Amino acid sequence: MIADKIDLKLIEQIARKAGDAIMEIYKTEFTVEMKENKSPLTEADKVSNKIILDELKLHYPAIPFISEETKAIEFSERKTWTHCWLIDPIDGTKEFIKKNGEFTVNIALVENGKPTLGVVLAPALKKMWSAKSGEGCFKINELGERIQLKKGVEFSRLNKVRVIGSRSHMSTETESFIQQLKSEGKEIDFVSAGSSIKFCLLADGSADVYPRYAPTMEWDTAAGQAVLEIAGGVVNEAGTLKHLCYNKENLLNPFFLASW
């Protein structure tokens, strides 16, 4: 496994370096561009992307990468990859622009379609979640203390279910999912959060299930999925319950359910 050869704490340091640069821009009156797909882009996205890629190329030059802010590589080349980095220099750019703090730096390693390492940093919140197959999943506080996370209780067995969802992407399917749980006699608490923090709040026991019936890309989810699954959770396609996989021809994810 390639993850065995990766220094998890080094990846954490790279995420923090990017996070420090992001926060310097966060304090300013930055400008916002619109990409071709109508999603927002800031200087912080570009700076974070450069820092992460420069560091990964320096320390692990043989591992290819997919990043939101880098020109897409054709599947004819990618399909030969057995492993790669998946990077989102700022997940939750809309939250960054709103200055509500709920944005993250996401760095994941994917092997044969499965995330085997993930680091999620929420720099404005001074929180980090970090995981590596065979090493475990950790929440790291602002003092640098590492708290190992353990498997939670399957949400289907709970009478009271904490459903976590997006601040920006509530859908009718998500509302239907919640109504279905209520029809089964379950009491529902809805927890709202932005970006890949939703996976991490599941992993650290602050929520029980995350139904995602809105578009996401592979770089949005890979690091968070690694954190949750290495802690003992699951991320499956909605409906089929197939494992959510990576480095597909189409980098758009299907709808999914993340849970214990």
Residue 167 has a pLDDT of 59
pLDDT at residue 86 tops 80: yes
**% of the chain at pLDDT higher than 90:** 81
In this prediction, residues 150-178 reach a mean pLDDT of 87
Within the chain, strands assigned E span: 32-34, 40-42, 65-67, 83-91, 104-111, 114-122, 127-132, 136-140, 146-148, 160-166, 187-193, 209-212, 234-237, 256-259
Q: What is the mean pLDDT of the chain?
A: 94
108 close to 86: Cβ distance less than 8 angstroms: yes
pLDDT at residue 239 tops 90: no
In this prediction, residues 105-120 reach a mean pLDDT of 98
30 against 57, higher pLDDT: 57
**% of the chain at pLDDT higher than 70:** 98
Tokens of 91: 């997940």
* Per-residue pLDDT tens digits for 97-107: 889 999 999 99
Output 181-188 pairs: Cβ under 8 A, ≥24 positions apart. 185/159, 186/158, 186/159, 186/160, 186/161, 187/159, 187/160, 187/161, 188/160, 188/161, 188/162, 188/163
Looking at domain 2-148, its CATH class is: alpha beta
Q: How many CA atoms lie within 13 A of 61 on its CB side?
A: 1
The CATH number assigned to the domain with range 155-259 reads 3.40.190.80
Residue 166 has a pLDDT of 78
Residue 35 has a pLDDT of 80
**What are the helix (H) ranges across 111-205?**
172-183, 197-203
Q: How far apart are the C-alpha atoms of 244 and 234, rounded to whole Å?
A: 9
Handedness of CA 109, 4, 258, 255 (dihedral sign): positive
143 against 233, higher pLDDT: 233
Residue ranges of the chain that CATH labels 3.30.540.10: 2-148
pLDDT at residue 170 tops 80: no
Residue 33 has a pLDDT of 83
The tokens 């209780």 sit on which residue?
153
In this prediction, residues 191-219 reach a mean pLDDT of 94
pLDDT at residue 36 tops 90: no
Banded model confidence at residue 168, pLDDT cuts 50, 70, 90: low
pLDDT at residue 164 tops 70: yes
In this prediction, residues 82-94 reach a mean pLDDT of 95
Residue ranges of the chain that CATH labels 3.40.190.80: 155-259
Q: How far apart are the C-alpha atoms of 49 and 34, rounded to whole Å?
A: 17
Closest CA to 108 of 246, 260, 254: 246
